[in-house]
Structure 1
Amino acid sequence: MISYEENIEVRGARVHNLKNIDVTIPREKLVVITGLSGSGKSSLAFDTIYAEGQRRYIETFSAYARQFLGGLERPDVDKIDGLSPVIAIEQKTTSKSPRSTVGTITEVYDFLRLLFARAADAYSYNTGERMVSYSDEQIKDLIKSAYSEKKINILAPVIKSRKGHYRELFEQIAKQGFVKVRVDGEIKDIVKGMKVDRYKTHDIEIVIDRLKVSDTEDLDKRLSESINTAMYSGNDVLMVLEAEESVPRYFSRDLMCPSTGISYPTPEPNTFSFNSPKGMCKKCNGLGHVYEVNEHKIVPDKKRSIQNGGIAPLGEYKKSWAFKQLETIAKRYGFELSDPIEKIPEEALQIILYGGEEHFEVDSKTLGVKRSYNIDYEGIANFIQNQYQQADSTSIKRWAKEFMDRKTCPTCNGSRLRTESLYFKIGGKNIAELAQMDIAELAAFFNELDARLEGNQKKIAEEIIKEIKARLSFLLDVGLDYLSLNRSSKSLSGGEAQRIRLATQIGSQLVGVLYILDEPSIGLHQRDNGRLIRSLESLRDIGNSVIVVEHDRDMIESADHVIDIGPEAGKHGGEIISEGRPEELMSHGTLTADYISGEKEIPVPKKRRKGNGKQIVLSGCTGNNLKNVTVKIPLGKMIGVTGVSGSGKSTLINETLYPIMNAHYFNGVKKPMPYKSIQGLEHIDKVIDINQSPIGRTPRSNPATYTGVFSEIRALFAKTPEAAIRGYKPGRFSFNVKGGRCETCQGGGLRVIEMNFLPDVYVDCETCNGKRFNRETLEIRYKGKSISDVLEMTINEAVDFFEKIPKIYRKLKTIQDVGLGYISLGQQSTTLSGGEAQRVKLATELSKRDTGNTFYILDEPTTGLHFEDIRVLMEVLNKLVDKGNTILVIEHNMDVIKMVDHIIDIGYEGGRGGGTIVAEGTPEEVAADLKSYTAQFLIKELEPSRGKALSTTNS
């Protein structure tokens, strides 16, 4: 047994805002690190402990190998003792590849492929009969018993239903010494120059041998030689035709249909892989969908003429080769480019779209003679299709996609696999049907499968099924029963991706590992919290250390050890303010302790808003698992959409409602999920979706640039007397534009020193000392501060500094109001968490002058938020609703759900068991509905306020 120290000792951690802290973390325990957003939790867990563990692992490689891996910077910490191998399970979606699915990430699909390759029964896609395969010895015995004392022909099939004259083939067969062939059911002698009608389809077999099956001494030897020769010439298939009969019997070393003779190659795991040429559908290359040109997008309005831009990809008339061709087509079919497209003959329109070749002559009006013209036109639709398939440029592909629709592949019907792969079955199901089942359904299938298998099939499948069942049980344990194996990993939320990786790690059964998780409860309903906690405990119980960065009350109370970081966020955080067992935490008087003990709470509102009496009614929603849902959304209220994970919340709101509204107000192009009708859109004037995608993908993006406040600040600096004298414009104060920025680091503030097999070193630019701007720009000061000093200010500091400038103050104040006072104006957007990015977006929208008639959609805005942060956020959202706006929140957090005016609860279960509206109404009305899982937890939140009669008058 490996001996480890009892604790992980961190000494002198100074990463980001950590204030030289020392912390002792017990090993083989479930440890929760909590605290306000921005207090330094992730800095300790990921940027210090995980970063050091990863760096030590990389350093075990040779110097030669490290230069290819890229080194890792040493975190700013004095020392860390007792560190074991570290695995971080973060909130990042696992893969952006369209080929990555839940099945491939968890390896369940890999085991399914192995199971089908070794134990599946094959069936003919022509007749549905069970496929058979024989050894040469079995074929010989079958011929002897089935054709005893009969005359037979042993044939080798070489052509199956194909056109051609086959003269060369007949010559080749004759050279090999064969004298007869069977062509389209008739046996013929091979003669010199022999050929067949090239325009008809033919079946051709070589007559290998003609014999009578009688009990003679040399029969065995002759049959063996004939079978071997026939198998060689017929590609492992032979036919036996009884004399005077017309229907042959097929025999094959491969799997073969006994009636039609079609054969499948011996299955292997790649036969069932949509990422392998051996298994993928040839039409869609294993993606399950294809892009097809939509004629209506090419010609959106048939009342317009070609000259006026009626053909969208070409635009308005200009002198180009394409329009020259169109003029030639117009001459041939007697129309003008100025005619409305609806007046153009259908035959001509088909040539314009799909191309054609033609030579024609037209009388010249001026010369009185005939002029010759050639049409050789590819067709606009064909051109777009070819550009999409063959162009190397991403922008050209994106242009082509504007005129195409994504459709389920017509060949494989979305299964991604070739036809042969879909006719291997176990328990009556093919591999694509199993991949479509949700995890719970699939687990039930495999629990019953044991009893249905027998003999060798059971013996072969036993070990594989055991592995599959184990992995499925881990996925069930972390609350992912509603996912299916063919679900694309691109569509997973951060929480789902994290829990999948957690299930995979539990399945790996590693021991002595330090796991660090970042809010695994995200996107998980309260009902499933217990299952997640039990999964983490099982990881701990087999001998691992588990550190969880978390705000969830249940997780904190279930921990063995809690570390509370604070006391506040940003520069005012970074200290250990409490540590110990959860019960010890209660006596320490921290913000976290006060909320968990009940000293502080987010109060239930005394009144629920009545709204403005108007509503949006969305009818007949059937996307994904939605079961013909009709939902009524009251306006002028705060609405909570709740339900267990996978019940259909995101499908209804993000995939159906938002695309409809976005298209209506802003001409958005995203296609909504199927629905029948929507009413009430005239009651609001715009929709704003505030999600958790990053505010920028480069370090040059920051909260100041995203919210637009930096433009105002630059304009302010340009108005200072010194800047006016020098003639500086606002662009002078941008670190992205030549002129004012430092050109040595191009406004980045840092230089990267490549160290080959050592980690790259980031150093402050020696010219500007990390200030990003050149000396002349930094000489311009407002109230004693340069533009670089302003970027380094926290939002809290900047609010005080710009108090007298209304335009700047209003934008900064809204960022402060959503609880982000601790971040700096110039903080790189890549360092913001999903929750912080979402609140920056929210602040950006709040700083705009609202109309009082806006519809806001927020998807889990409490991600990464402490109880106190949630209280601050809800105050901001309530102010917005009080102005008459509507806010719709998709949420699991009970502190938010108890505060909304109207709940739409979707369920009952996730996946196929979801997709219906379980309960609607005020939180009190929903809490009384015992069928709802949300109600069971909501009722506990409302109990302290049960004694107070809740008024339904307007607040």
Structure 2
Amino acid sequence: MTQKTDLRDEEIAIRGAKVHNLKNISVTLPRNKLVVLTGVSGSGKSSLAFDTIYAEGQRRYVESLSAYARQFLEQLSKPDIESITGLSPTISIEQRTTSYNPRSTVGTVTEIYDYLRLLFARVSKPYCWKCEQPIRSQSPQQVVDSILSSPLGTRLSILAPIVRGRKGEYQKELLQLRQRGFVRVRVDGDIHDLSDDITLDKNKKHDISVYIDRLIIKGDLGTLAARISDSVELGLKLGEGMLILETQPSGATAESEPIETLLSEKFACPTCHISYPSPEPRTFSFNSPMGACPECDGLGTKPSPEDLDAEEDTVDSDLNLDAITGENAPCSSCNGARLRKESLHYRLAERNISNLTLLSISELSAFFNALVLTDREQLIANRILKEIKDRCGFLNEVGVGYLSLSRSAQSLSGGESQRIRLATQIGSSLVGVIYVLDEPSIGLHQKDNRKLLNTLKRLRDMGNSVLVVEHDRETIEEADWIVDLGPGAGSQGGELVAEGSLKQLLRSKKSITAKYLNGELEIATPKTRRTWTKANAIRLEKATQNNLKNITIDFPLGVFTCVTGTSGSGKSTLVIDTLYRLLAGHVYRMKTGEIKIAGSRGLELVDKVIDIDQRPIGKTPRSNPATYTGLFSLIRELFASLPDSKVRGYGPGRYSFNVKGGRCEACEGDGVTKVEMHFLPDVFVECDICKGRRYNRDTLEIRYKGKNIADVLDMTGSDAYAFFDAIPSIKAKLKVLNEVGLGYLHLGQSATTLSGGEAQRIKLSKELSRRGTGKTVYILDEPTTGLHFDDVNKLVAILQTLVSQGNTVIVIEHNLDLIKVADYVIDMGPEGGAAGGYVIAKGTPEELALIPESDTGRYLKTVL
């Protein structure tokens, strides 16, 4: 009799999903497959993947735990769905920075640094920080054996150090030694009888050692061994783990100077008399007082006292000040290494732990593969080394091998953070899990993308379901199953357009994704490229910032330039850390910190520079697209100009939810109130008074075309564009917001819910709505993040418009569809990290495609 297979074991069935803009959709996904969710931006992909499947998987897992365990976990609400079957525990790997803690590094996030600390505590060798000589510890038996190995006739004196380089009179200590029966001491190099009157200057530093025993190596060593053992034990006890051995070889005269050796149960330098405690993992932790540099408390930097030259009110609030001013100055004590000098003088293969954290993960992997240890050390370190090598291997597989362990977690892009967590998940070896990923290909060069795909397939083959929100062509084509949502964004999206294998998708007549994949629609390659001369360009000469290798390069003005290259090859260092800082310092007269270049020219040809990055547009839930773009000020002024407002005396401030007057005071304009749950986490619920509308009843009575201010904030950009058709100033801003592909966003949507790509496009829309100068340099870092093929097409049109107005656009990008439309391409490489920092090729996309050394050129051939 054949056993029937329960279909629930083979599929995840979602019925009646209505989260956000999802329109009661039902979809069935195969389990243990690589499933890609695609569709235009705002079509509902994240709503289905993260807010439905992931959220429900998490909620069910948390609910299965005890009440005691649940108090430590976030309480999750049930998504708006009829049912989900075939669901197993879910793990989300999103594009967000792993940590805002300045102490977090790539090493701590991946736990490789924890294993390095353990390794150094077990098998590293200490060196004196003063004279750089190797030092070692000895057990009492080893000290005895060392003494007994001396040649016959050797004269020995065993002393215990009582005081070492400290001020004081020490009469009490000398009296106690005499009372215990000791006869002689050595004070500051001179020998005294304890019965003498020994007077010390309390303001000077002194060294005091007491003589424990004096003997000659001769006769029966067995009898001598017992005596030496007692003397050594007593000496180590009095000297708190240290003793001094004075030796005179056989035949030496009584007047000859004895040879002095410091022996210790601790690590101690015989020359400088400096001792170290026995190493522990926390000895190498910059988060522990035992290891952290006392000067900078383990941060490695000290705040720079220099401030901006410009007056605060003259500086554009949108400027990327972190990029312009550079990092804080390294700590003068540890030089940025974060650790005490003692911790930095433990070495493994001639490198301290800080040296190893400065290596890229690829270099670290090579270091440990070549590391030679003794048999004893190998036995101790075997399991530790396996963990380090495995983790390095996983990180290399996901394309972040160019990162160093010392890299701050705060400085990682969303894509890098996501891939690091992906590598960690591979190392966990979990099976039967649903992994939900958000565009893991972001920030990856095409040649690294293949490694990532292999990693995703490896997760799948381990027995997991891998669900990926993605726009990358190669990832879509490699998927086992594809779900295409649309047809539009926001209220025009949320429907299931197509599902199935790649062949089934390509047969769909409704799918825009299918039309781009089969060539029916495409991002057109320009027939001509803009030309430029060296007289109309910014030149950077001999740039050596970070990993740049003394490069000289021209950035043409008035054209569209793409800077490409493998991950970690130096693109951001060249464009953001060098060019942007240089231009911002010149244009806005700001202090920029050190910029490592020999010279530059052409800066005077630019009167404005704007870095449109992916940092959040606001740090509080009160920030939203309307407030950031200035749109909300115009809307409030419109409402204040209405007859009913004038009758009641309402000004624009009445319509702000940030100040008293028109807002709901029960929730202070938040729309939600916090309910304290005592042993459970606090819960935020819709405000009972305003029902989430943010404003009081009187304010909401004022209407424009039947809509109050809360209704307007709840509109999407595309709906608002039609609604404010008669107001040119508002319509102009909304037109740009729609053009950058963000018509699906609600005007009042909290900034904290926006992705990095959405935040970047909001900034772009704000800049586009300003009056241009014709001499502006726009710098964008991966603007295609989160964009569907169709949205990339719209973005290209916007960027080309900016350039046609005389401005300069410089884009850091991996997307071939955007690279192919550029006028000029600068390709960095050949690899990431220390192996990068060179300009491999430069020219038009067609010229780049003919250069065999350029990896980007090789891939460009396929799309030109």
TM range (shorter): over 0.9
The Cα offsets for residues 653-686 of structure 1, whole Å up to 9 and x where unpaired, read as: 1112212222222344543532232321221211
AA aligned opposite 2:522 = E
Name the residue aligned to 2:373.
Answer: 453
Name the residue aligned to 2:225.
Answer: 220
Please report how far the alpha carbon of residue 835 of structure 1 lies from its aligned counterpart in structure 2 after TM superposition. 1.1
Query: For the structure 1 residues 593 and 113, does the alpha-carbon distance in structure 2 shift closer, same or farther, using more than 3 Å as the test?
Result: same
Query: For the structure 1 residues 668 and 940, does the alpha-carbon distance in structure 2 shift closer, same or farther, using more than 3 Å as the test?
Result: same
Q: 2:427 aligns with which of 479, 492, 507?
A: 507
Query: For the structure 1 residues 15 and 250, does the alpha-carbon distance in structure 2 shift closer, same or farther, using more than 3 Å as the test?
Result: same
Name the residue aligned to 2:320.
Answer: none
Name the residue aligned to 1:396.
Answer: none
Q: Could you tell me how far apart the structure 2 residues matched to 1:721 and 1:141 are?
A: 102
AA aligned opposite 2:108 = T
Does the 8 Å CA contact 2:626/2:747 hold for their aligned counterparts?
Answer: yes
Query: For the structure 1 residues 754 and 418, does the alpha-carbon distance in structure 2 shift closer, same or farther, using more than 3 Å as the test?
Result: closer
Name the residue aligned to 1:286.
Answer: 298
Structure 2 residue 54 is matched with structure 1 residue 50: yes
Query: For the structure 1 residues 142 and 830, does the alpha-carbon distance in structure 2 shift closer, same or farther, using more than 3 Å as the test?
Result: closer
Please report how far the alpha carbon of residue 69 of structure 1 lies from its aligned counterpart in structure 2 after TM superposition. 3.4
Name the residue aligned to 1:251.
Answer: 263
Does the 8 Å CA contact 1:615/1:634 hold for their aligned counterparts?
Answer: yes
Q: Could you tell me how far apart the structure 1 residues matched to 2:675 and 2:145 are?
A: 76
Q: Could you tell me how far apart the structure 1 residues matched to 2:269 and 2:697 are?
A: 82
Does the 8 Å CA contact 2:325/2:581 hold for their aligned counterparts?
Answer: no
Q: 2:13 aligns with which of 5, 9, 33?
A: 9
Q: 1:607 aligns with which of 518, 522, 528?
A: 528
Does the 8 Å CA contact 1:656/1:672 hold for their aligned counterparts?
Answer: no
Q: 2:215 aligns with which of 211, 214, 223?
A: 211
Query: For the structure 1 residues 563 and 268, does the alpha-carbon distance in structure 2 shift closer, same or farther, using more than 3 Å as the test?
Result: same
Identity of aligned residues (%): 54
Q: Secondary structure at the match of 2:600?
A: strand
Please report how far the alpha carbon of residue 460 of structure 1 lies from its aligned counterpart in structure 2 after TM superposition. 2.1
Please report how far the alpha carbon of residue 601 of structure 1 lies from its aligned counterpart in structure 2 after TM superposition. 0.7
Please report how far the alpha carbon of residue 197 of structure 1 lies from its aligned counterpart in structure 2 after TM superposition. 3.4
Does the 8 Å CA contact 1:170/1:195 hold for their aligned counterparts?
Answer: no
Query: For the structure 1 residues 784 and 580, does the alpha-carbon distance in structure 2 shift closer, same or farther, using more than 3 Å as the test?
Result: same
Please report how far the alpha carbon of residue 725 of structure 1 lies from its aligned counterpart in structure 2 after TM superposition. 1.9
The Cα offsets for residues 725-779 of structure 1, whole Å up to 9 and x where unpaired, read as: 2222111122222222222222223334445566765544333333222222222
Q: Could you tell me how far apart the structure 1 residues matched to 2:660 and 2:335 are?
A: 54
AA aligned opposite 2:446 = Q
Matching of residues 165-176 of structure 1 within 5 Å: 165-176=169-180
Q: Could you tell me how far apart the structure 2 residues matched to 1:207 and 1:941 are?
A: 85
AA aligned opposite 2:823 = D
Q: Secondary structure at the match of 2:36?
A: strand
Q: Secondary structure at the match of 1:903?
A: strand
Q: Could you tell me how far apart the structure 2 residues matched to 1:898 and 1:465 are?
A: 45
Please report how far the alpha carbon of residue 175 of structure 1 lies from its aligned counterpart in structure 2 after TM superposition. 3.7
Matching of residues 357-436 of structure 1 within 5 Å: 406-436=328-358
AA aligned opposite 1:99 = R
Q: Secondary structure at the match of 2:861?
A: helix
Q: Secondary structure at the match of 2:182?
A: coil
Does the 8 Å CA contact 1:640/1:903 hold for their aligned counterparts?
Answer: yes
**Backbone CA RMSD of aligned residues:** 2.5
Structure 2 residue 804 is matched with structure 1 residue 889: no
Q: Could you tell me how far apart the structure 1 residues matched to 2:280 and 2:684 are?
A: 50
Does the 8 Å CA contact 2:484/2:513 hold for their aligned counterparts?
Answer: yes
The answer for unaligned runs of 5 or more in structure 2 is 249-253, 313-323
Q: Could you tell me how far apart the structure 1 residues matched to 2:305 and 2:171 are?
A: 42
Q: Could you tell me how far apart the structure 1 residues matched to 2:201 and 2:663 are?
A: 78
Q: Could you tell me how far apart the structure 2 residues matched to 1:743 and 1:517 are?
A: 40
Name the residue aligned to 2:317.
Answer: none
The Cα offsets for residues 862-912 of structure 1, whole Å up to 9 and x where unpaired, read as: 000000000011111111111111111111100000001111111111101
Name the residue aligned to 2:275.
Answer: 263
Q: Could you tell me how far apart the structure 2 residues matched to 1:617 and 1:858 are?
A: 19
Q: Secondary structure at the match of 1:812?
A: helix
Q: Could you tell me how far apart the structure 2 residues matched to 1:882 and 1:805 are?
A: 27
Does the 8 Å CA contact 1:657/1:672 hold for their aligned counterparts?
Answer: no
Answer with 520-529 or 155-164: which moved more.
155-164
Does the 8 Å CA contact 2:621/2:751 hold for their aligned counterparts?
Answer: yes
Query: For the structure 1 residues 762 and 462, does the alpha-carbon distance in structure 2 shift closer, same or farther, using more than 3 Å as the test?
Result: closer
Please report how far the alpha carbon of residue 856 of structure 1 lies from its aligned counterpart in structure 2 after TM superposition. 0.7
Name the residue aligned to 2:251.
Answer: none
Please report how far the alpha carbon of residue 608 of structure 1 lies from its aligned counterpart in structure 2 after TM superposition. 0.9
Q: Could you tell me how far apart the structure 2 residues matched to 1:790 and 1:856 are?
A: 31
Please report how far the alpha carbon of residue 847 of structure 1 lies from its aligned counterpart in structure 2 after TM superposition. 0.8
AA aligned opposite 2:659 = V
TM-score by length of 1: 0.84
Q: 1:275 aligns with which of 266, 283, 287?
A: 287
Structure 2 residue 811 is matched with structure 1 residue 806: no
Structure 2 residue 201 is matched with structure 1 residue 197: yes
AA aligned opposite 1:419 = K
AA aligned opposite 2:834 = R
Q: Could you tell me how far apart the structure 2 residues matched to 1:177 and 1:21 are?
A: 93
Please report how far the alpha carbon of residue 426 of structure 1 lies from its aligned counterpart in structure 2 after TM superposition. 2.4
The answer for unaligned runs of 5 or more in structure 1 is 302-311, 314-401, 943-955
Q: Could you tell me how far apart the structure 2 residues matched to 1:249 and 1:846 are?
A: 75
Does the 8 Å CA contact 1:66/1:757 hold for their aligned counterparts?
Answer: no
Matching of residues 623-634 of structure 1 within 5 Å: 623-634=545-556
Q: Could you tell me how far apart the structure 2 residues matched to 1:280 and 1:763 are?
A: 43
Q: Could you tell me how far apart the structure 1 residues matched to 2:272 and 2:644 are?
A: 91
Name the residue aligned to 1:737.
Answer: 659
Q: Secondary structure at the match of 2:219?
A: coil
The Cα offsets for residues 893-934 of structure 1, whole Å up to 9 and x where unpaired, read as: 000000011111111111011112111121111221111111
Does the 8 Å CA contact 2:89/2:434 hold for their aligned counterparts?
Answer: yes
Q: Could you tell me how far apart the structure 2 residues matched to 1:159 and 1:706 are?
A: 67
Does the 8 Å CA contact 2:606/2:777 hold for their aligned counterparts?
Answer: yes
Q: Secondary structure at the match of 1:931?
A: coil
Name the residue aligned to 1:525.
Answer: 445
Q: 2:503 aligns with which of 583, 592, 616?
A: 583
Structure 2 residue 713 is matched with structure 1 residue 791: yes
Name the residue aligned to 1:693.
Answer: 615
Structure 2 residue 58 is matched with structure 1 residue 138: no
Name the residue aligned to 2:668.
Answer: 746
Query: For the structure 1 residues 428 and 751, does the alpha-carbon distance in structure 2 shift closer, same or farther, using more than 3 Å as the test?
Result: closer
Please report how far the alpha carbon of residue 611 of structure 1 lies from its aligned counterpart in structure 2 after TM superposition. 4.7
AA aligned opposite 2:286 = F
Q: Could you tell me how far apart the structure 2 residues matched to 1:475 and 1:669 are?
A: 37
Q: Could you tell me how far apart the structure 1 residues matched to 2:624 and 2:115 are?
A: 45
Query: For the structure 1 residues 250 and 779, does the alpha-carbon distance in structure 2 shift closer, same or farther, using more than 3 Å as the test?
Result: closer
Structure 2 residue 771 is matched with structure 1 residue 849: yes
The Cα offsets for residues 209-229 of structure 1, whole Å up to 9 and x where unpaired, read as: 233444357533322221111
Q: Could you tell me how far apart the structure 2 residues matched to 1:545 and 1:908 are?
A: 35
The Cα offsets for residues 341-360 of structure 1, whole Å up to 9 and x where unpaired, read as: xxxxxxxxxxxxxxxxxxxx
Q: 1:647 aligns with which of 562, 566, 569?
A: 569
How many residues are treated as equivalent by the alignment? Answer: 838
Name the residue aligned to 1:684.
Answer: 606
Q: Secondary structure at the match of 1:238?
A: strand
Please report how far the alpha carbon of residue 191 of structure 1 lies from its aligned counterpart in structure 2 after TM superposition. 4.3
AA aligned opposite 1:110 = D
Runs of 4+ in 1 over 6 A off after TM superposition: 402-405
AA aligned opposite 2:48 = L
Name the residue aligned to 1:361.
Answer: none
Query: For the structure 1 residues 141 and 706, does the alpha-carbon distance in structure 2 shift closer, same or farther, using more than 3 Å as the test?
Result: closer
Query: For the structure 1 residues 764 and 241, does the alpha-carbon distance in structure 2 shift closer, same or farther, using more than 3 Å as the test?
Result: closer
Structure 2 residue 854 is matched with structure 1 residue 932: yes
The Cα offsets for residues 391-438 of structure 1, whole Å up to 9 and x where unpaired, read as: xxxxxxxxxxx9999332333232222223233322332222221111
